């Protein structure tokens, strides 16, 4: 990272980030958004099974149980994507020589 121009009156700075760091940051933002969406979808699909009086028919309880399993899978995928995004941000910081 190198700062090209500074202006003290308006506190502006133009920052140039190299291509490898930019790719890491772009991929990290995509993975972070995907992880957040998957985790939210998983939690929301698991909510009907938490209400024990929601359905009295066994077929409806089966459907709720299936949605809960699918929701747990989405939460797992979301956690993996978020962890991958964190690793990509660290990698991008290495490439751009930030925090050194």
What is the rounded average pLDDT of the residues 10-33?
Answer: 82
Query: Which segment of 25-34, 35-44, 60-69, 72-81 scores lowest on mean pLDDT?
Result: 60-69
**What is d(CA 15, CA 36) in angstroms, rounded to the nearest whole number?**
28
CA distance linking residue 61 with residue 74, whole number of Å: 20
Q: What is the pLDDT of residues 51-65, one digit of tens each?
A: 666 666 777 777 778
For the chain, the domain total comes to 1
87 pLDDT above the threshold of 60: yes
10 is a domain residue: no
Q: Is residue 26 part of a domain?
A: yes
Q: Is the pTM of this model over 0.75?
A: no
Please give the residue range of the domain that contains residue 65: 19-96
Please check whether residue 35 is in contact with residue 80, taking contact to mean a CB–CB distance below 8 angstroms.
Answer: yes
Q: Is the pLDDT of residue 85 over 90?
A: yes
d(CA 34, CA 74): 10
Residue 56 lies in a domain: yes
Pairing of strands 2-7, 12-16: antiparallel
């Amino acid at each position: 990272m190198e700062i090209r121009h500074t202006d003290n009156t308006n506190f502006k700075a133009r920052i140039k980030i190299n291509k490898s760091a930019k790719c890491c940051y772009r991929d990290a933002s995509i993975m972070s958004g995907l992880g957040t969406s998957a985790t939210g979808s998983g939690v929301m699909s698991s909510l009907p099974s938490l209400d024990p009086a929601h359905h009295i028919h066994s077929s409806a309880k089966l459907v709720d149980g299936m949605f809960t399993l699918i929701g747990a899978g989405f939460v797992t995928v979301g956690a993996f994507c978020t962890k991958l995004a964190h690793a990509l941000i660290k990698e991008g910081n290495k490439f751009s020589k930030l925090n050194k």
